Chain A
Amino acid sequence: MAETLKLTIEEVPAVAGKVNVHIEKEQATVRVDFGATQDPRFFERFLKGRPAVYAPHVMSRICGVCSVVHLTCSIEAVEKALGVEPKPEVKALRELAKGFENVQNNFVHVLMALPDYTGDGNVVQFSKSHPQLFARMMDINRRILEAYRRICGRFIHTPSLGVASHGKPITKSELEYVGREMARVSKELYELAGSLAEIWKPIAQGFEDPAPTYCVLKPPREEFPMFSNELAFSDGFVVSAERYGEVIEERKLPHSNAKIALYRGKPFYVGSRARMQAYFTLLASEARELIKTLGVDFSNPFDNVKAQYVEVAYLSGLLAEKSLELASRIRSGVAFFHEGTVPEKSGEGVGLATAPRGVLIHHYRVRDGKLEYANVITPTVMNARHIEVAGEALVSWALSKGIDEARVKDLVAALVRAYDPCLPCAVH
């Protein structure tokens, strides 16, 4: 293989948003270009001087795919800044909504990425070669969405959640339905694992992540966290939300409108692969068993997708428990959790949330109820540099194995897809 290998992938297929990849063997570099073709949207700036309580509604528009995480993370940040404490039921419903998004969103990501592992190449082909499995997965997705609607009403950009409020009225029987349905979904996902394991081949077996540092939310209690006040890194370092800036540095890239984030100057990763390692001891025994069944190799970035599947199965079960628990706490009939007005105070708040693809940070400074400063760091931004270093190592690894150029390109594209199916939030 020539030393001056130069490969370009214009627009990695099967991801939302345009991503170009440039591979240059000479300097052994992989450049994953998220934002060259996308204009910045100035989300962090255009709310300046407007009421902080508007932030969740507007900030959730950063992404239409994972809107709930931006919405809820923004709500957390505003509540912290204004010193508002939501009712326990409101918080519980918010955690349910957030959990649902992780389940639904990552499940669809698994479905979209799976053809890379089964050799089908794309979802259409996959649906033809595994019609029954595909139909079953689609049905599961539909049922997850149906249950989700009971909590949040409209699915995309739900208007239900707000600062210290959950607007959609909820009945006890709705919550019970959600509990039953999600328990069934979880059970089915565990059952499905056997047939999935048969077709779910490893990619780049033996390839090791060159930068194995990761970041997750530190669980505030012994439970998979949706929100937290602390970040935890795999090297054992824990930092409070307000001080994220001391270790996470965000840089604007010279060649695009996207940003990258580094942990003490080095790349790190976020997402299900990180979470399933960090929260291993918190998982139900079935989930730990599932990690074995699927043969998840946490040192291989491609196995993020398998980790997502484990997480989806586990979280579905957790959501079922949580819904039933909440149902037992509310009396029959309809419950409203609307709070009305919020104080116009000053303060600063950093919200941390578990996004489907990793850790999300919303940081606001508020003066007299008006937003003065906003900073958002998305999981895609955190993973951006990691994808590049992993990509570089992958290219060297593949070339040393004598893998041909066309396959190298496929591998790099599959690597991008294994992290994230959608990238517009890298530019916000």
Chain B
Amino acid sequence: MVKVKIDGRVVEVEPGTTVLEAAEKAGVEIPRLCVVPGLYEGSSCRLCLVKTPTGRLFPSCNYRVYRDEEFLASTPDLWEMRRVNFELLLKFHRIECWACERKSSCSLVQLSKELLVDGIPVCSECPLPPSECLLLKGELCLGMIAQSGCNAECLVSGGECWGCRGPITREDVLERAFARYKELGFDVKDVVSKAEIYWNSAPGFATVKKVAERVAGRG
């Protein structure tokens, strides 16, 4: 057995255990995305970064301990690096939660909440499946362009989203959202006018209006 110290907590583990597993045993939370025990050994997403007291960084899912060692897993700079890594990964993800059948069991959505990244709409938390989306019934819901994080409070209680927590500002997501509004027969102007009620002085509203105009301008 070897002793592993993570964030000050000491656990004894079999030699060859990964730091991620040791952390789990110690009750220290480390985010992860790519590793699937027994199937994929990880090292790709870099969300599980930890460091040694001297500052050496590595993914905890793929680092095995064979002697007594110490690691840090929760410092602010680690969380910041994980957030940046996650945002980079998400850049290649076509965010379209409103049309996603798997949104309720999505690990990207889970992580985006832990890491506070921009670009995940309220639709990700909406209890309605895509086929029941309020937009299909002609109700103007702002879920597609609104910042998630409220667990879709209003949708849960049977209302539509008014975006009270502010807009998302990731332009490609906004583009797709506005295109969807248009496709479903909503006037982009009406969407912006509804959004104005809560967002008139919100920092990201200028971006929303810019993208809306761009989408409206397209034939």
Q: Which residues of A contact B (CB under 8 A)?
A: 50-51, 54, 57-58, 152-154, 158-160, 162, 166-169, 338, 340-341
- At the interface, yes or no: B206 with Cβ under 8 Å from chain A? no
The answer, among B137, B157, B197, for a CB contact under 8 Å with A159, is B157
- Measured CA separation A54–B190 after assembly (Å): 12
Residue of A nearest to B157 (CB): A153
The answer, among B157, B160, B162, B194, for a CB contact under 8 Å with A168, is B157
User: Are the C-beta atoms of A153 and B139 separated by less than 8 Å?
Assistant: no
User: Are the C-beta atoms of A166 and B194 separated by less than 8 Å?
Assistant: no
User: Are the C-beta atoms of A159 and B139 separated by less than 8 Å?
Assistant: no
User: Are the C-beta atoms of B193 and A167 separated by less than 8 Å?
Assistant: no
The answer, among A51, A154, A338, A341, for a CB contact under 8 Å with B157, is A154
Q: Given the known A-B contacts A54-B197, A57-B162, A58-B197, are A340 and B157 also in contact in the complex, defined by CB atoms under 8 Å? A: no
- At the interface, yes or no: B100 with Cβ under 8 Å from chain A? no
User: Are the C-beta atoms of B138 and A159 separated by less than 8 Å?
Assistant: no
User: Are the C-beta atoms of B158 and A168 separated by less than 8 Å?
Assistant: yes
Q: Given the known A-B contacts A57-B162, A340-B139, are A153 and B197 also in contact in the complex, defined by CB atoms under 8 Å? A: no
Q: Given the known A-B contacts A50-B193, A54-B197, A154-B153, are A166 and B158 also in contact in the complex, defined by CB atoms under 8 Å? A: yes
- At the interface, yes or no: B203 with Cβ under 8 Å from chain A? no
- At the interface, yes or no: B156 with Cβ under 8 Å from chain A? yes
Q: Which residues of B contact A (CB under 8 A)?
A: 137-139, 153-160, 162, 190, 193-194, 197
Q: Given the known A-B contacts A341-B138, A341-B139, are A159 and B194 also in contact in the complex, defined by CB atoms under 8 Å? A: no
User: Are the C-beta atoms of B157 and A152 separated by less than 8 Å?
Assistant: yes
A166: chain B residues at CB < 8 Å are 158
- Measured CA separation A166–B158 after assembly (Å): 7
CB distance from A67 to the nearest CB of B (A): 13
CB distance from B49 to the nearest CB of A (A): 38
B162: chain A residues at CB < 8 Å are 57
The answer, among A54, A167, A338, for a CB contact under 8 Å with B194, is A54
User: Are the C-beta atoms of B193 and A159 separated by less than 8 Å?
Assistant: no
- Measured CA separation A166–B159 after assembly (Å): 9
The answer, among B155, B157, B194, for a CB contact under 8 Å with A158, is B157
B157: chain A residues at CB < 8 Å are 152-154, 158-160, 167-168
CB distance from B116 to the nearest CB of A (A): 24
User: Are the C-beta atoms of A167 and B159 separated by less than 8 Å?
Assistant: yes
Given contacts A51-B194, A154-B154, 17 further A-B contacts (CB under 8 A): A54-B194, A58-B197, A153-B156, A153-B159, A154-B153, A154-B157, A159-B154, A159-B157, A159-B158, A159-B159, A160-B158, A160-B159, A167-B160, A169-B158, A338-B137, A338-B139, A341-B139
Interface centre among A152, A167, A169 (most CB of B within 10 A): A167
A152: chain B residues at CB < 8 Å are 157
A54: chain B residues at CB < 8 Å are 194, 197
Q: List 7 A-B contacts (CB under 8 A).
A: A57-B162, A159-B153, A159-B157, A162-B159, A167-B157, A338-B158, A340-B137
B153: chain A residues at CB < 8 Å are 154, 159
CB distance from B189 to the nearest CB of A (A): 12
- Measured CA separation A58–B198 after assembly (Å): 10
- Measured CA separation A341–B158 after assembly (Å): 15
A169: chain B residues at CB < 8 Å are 158
A158: chain B residues at CB < 8 Å are 157, 159
CB distance from B163 to the nearest CB of A (A): 12
CB distance from A25 to the nearest CB of B (A): 48
- Measured CA separation A152–B153 after assembly (Å): 12
- Measured CA separation A138–B153 after assembly (Å): 26
CB distance from B182 to the nearest CB of A (A): 17
CB distance from B160 to the nearest CB of A (A): 7
- Measured CA separation A51–B153 after assembly (Å): 23
- Measured CA separation A54–B198 after assembly (Å): 12
CB distance from B76 to the nearest CB of A (A): 34
CB distance from B154 to the nearest CB of A (A): 4
A160: chain B residues at CB < 8 Å are 157-159
User: Are the C-beta atoms of A167 and B158 separated by less than 8 Å?
Assistant: yes
CB distance from A374 to the nearest CB of B (A): 15
- Measured CA separation A158–B159 after assembly (Å): 8
Residue of A nearest to B159 (CB): A159
- Measured CA separation A153–B157 after assembly (Å): 5
CB distance from A55 to the nearest CB of B (A): 11
Residue of B nearest to A341 (CB): B138
- Measured CA separation A277–B137 after assembly (Å): 46
A167: chain B residues at CB < 8 Å are 157-160
Residue of B nearest to A158 (CB): B157
4 closest Cβ contacts across the A-B interface?
A159-B159, A153-B157, A167-B158, A168-B158
A154: chain B residues at CB < 8 Å are 153-154, 156-157
CB distance from A83 to the nearest CB of B (A): 19
Residue of A nearest to B196 (CB): A50
B154: chain A residues at CB < 8 Å are 154, 159
- Measured CA separation A153–B160 after assembly (Å): 13
Residue of B nearest to A167 (CB): B158
- Measured CA separation A54–B163 after assembly (Å): 14
A159: chain B residues at CB < 8 Å are 153-155, 157-160
Residue of B nearest to A46 (CB): B197
CB distance from B197 to the nearest CB of A (A): 7
User: Are the C-beta atoms of B159 and A340 separated by less than 8 Å?
Assistant: no
A50: chain B residues at CB < 8 Å are 193, 197
- Measured CA separation A57–B159 after assembly (Å): 10
Residue of A nearest to B136 (CB): A340
- Measured CA separation A329–B197 after assembly (Å): 38
B160: chain A residues at CB < 8 Å are 159, 167
B159: chain A residues at CB < 8 Å are 153, 158-160, 162, 167
CB distance from A355 to the nearest CB of B (A): 22
A58: chain B residues at CB < 8 Å are 197
